């Protein structure tokens, strides 16, 4: 029998090479050969995108809530660098403006995620500006250290509003647009919910609820072609301890030192440890990945 090898090589020594090998008799159809060649070309295109990031995000429309600081800010900046249009939301006009001024790809919407109409307003703003939505990153979060004796219904209600209700409303409002684009949702949870969390119980519980919503939405929205995944970051330097959590600088530093000592990989995380995974889960390249919760914490949640 004749033997044919179809080979595509990047041409640089030491880099990837792809070989598709087919053994067939002389009667093989031209169509079968064309399919094999097409598969090789498709793999090469995907490989190039994976290696360089070129064009995967170019022209895509993304929403990043809580995009004025920390992981949200870093995610928005990276998406814009890769050519995506980004709508960031947050409460501080000054912080939002500071990041929006760094790229013409970034637009801002000053809004509190706890506002019951925030979801519809965010989606309307993105659609009015760009006419589509490809990715929603539910990054905004609320937390506050609360010992049992200091439980406050207003604080607990706010955490529930921001960490559970706001993402739910945004997903509801964006469902049609995401269905049209076969888009994705990436929720930001926390590795704190991996174990008992004294004084942070309601923060951990509301983020655990968001993870449950992630898996439920993944199943419910799969028929619409929408993929839903989540990242659960560990201790990351974002300013959240003095910002969202309201701790003093001294208390925050003490906690940072303690957490760093607990991480098996020897340090607290930085936003650059988290952002690539958000983009990976949100990318259209991941056609068959949904309902997953990825913990990125340097092994912190495995501490004894």
Show the 3-state SS of 227-294: EEEEEEECCECCCCCCCCCCCCHHHHHHHHHHHHHHCCCCCCECHHHHHHHHHHHHCCCCCCCCCCEE
Beta partners for residue 21, in sequence order: 5
State the DSSP H helix or E strand holding residue 44, giving kind and residue range, or none if neither: helix 30-52
Burial class (CB in 10 A: 0-12, 13-18, 19+), 162: buried
Residue with tokens 């604080």: 155
Whole-angstrom distance, CA of residue 78 vs CA of residue 80: 5
Please provide the size of the chain in residues.
304
**Active-site residue, selected from the candidate residues 57, 203, 217, 300:** 203
Beta strands in 69-132 (DSSP E): 85-90, 106-110
Known active-site residue 203:
yes
Please spell the DSSP secondary structure of 152-174, one letter per residue.
Answer: -HHHHHHHHIIIIIHHHHHHHHH
Contacts 24+ apart (CB under 8 A), 36-41: 36/6, 37/6, 40/6, 40/8, 41/8
Beta partners for residue 18, in sequence order: 8
Q: Is the dihedral of CA 161, 62, 71, 248 positive or negative?
A: negative
Q: Are 108 and 134 in contact (CB under 8 A)?
A: no
Active site residues: 203
């Amino acid at each position: 029998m004749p033997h044919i090898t179809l080979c595509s090589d990047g041409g640089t020594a030491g880099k990837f090479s792809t070989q598709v090998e087919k053994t067939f008799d002389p009667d093989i159809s031209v169509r079968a050969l064309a399919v094999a060649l097409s598969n090789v070309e498709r793999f090469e295109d995907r490989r190039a995108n994976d290696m360089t990031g070129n064009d995967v995000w170019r022209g895509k429309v993304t929403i990043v809530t809580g995009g004025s600081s920390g992981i949200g800010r870093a995610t928005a900046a990276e998406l814009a660098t890769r050519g995506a249009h980004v709508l960031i939301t947050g409460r501080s006009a000054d912080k939002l403006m500071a990041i929006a001024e760094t790229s013409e790809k970034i637009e801002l919407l000053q809004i509190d995620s706890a506002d019951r109409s925030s979801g519809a307003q965010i989606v309307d703003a993105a659609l009015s500006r760009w006419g589509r939505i490809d990715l929603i990153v539910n990054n905004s979060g609320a937390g506050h250290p609360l010992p049992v004796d200091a439980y406050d219904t207003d604080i607990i209600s706010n955490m529930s509003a921001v960490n559970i209700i706001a993402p739910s409303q945004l997903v509801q409002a964006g469902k049609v647009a995401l269905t049209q684009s076969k888009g994705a949702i990436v929720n930001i949870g926390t590795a704190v919910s991996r174990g008992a969390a004294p004084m942070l119980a309601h923060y951990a519980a509301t983020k655990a609820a968001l993870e449950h919503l992630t898996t439920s939405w993944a199943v419910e929205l799969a028929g619409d072609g929408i993929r839903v995944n989540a990242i659960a970051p560990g201790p990351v330097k974002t300013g959240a301890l003095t910002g969202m959590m309201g701790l003093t600088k001294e208390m925050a530093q003490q906690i940072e030192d303690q957490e760093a000592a607990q991480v098996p990989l020897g340090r607290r995380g930085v936003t650059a440890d988290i952002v690539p995974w958000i983009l990976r889960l949100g990318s259209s390249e991941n056609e068959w990945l949904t309902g997953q919760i990825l913990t990125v914490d340097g092994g912190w949640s495995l501490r004894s």
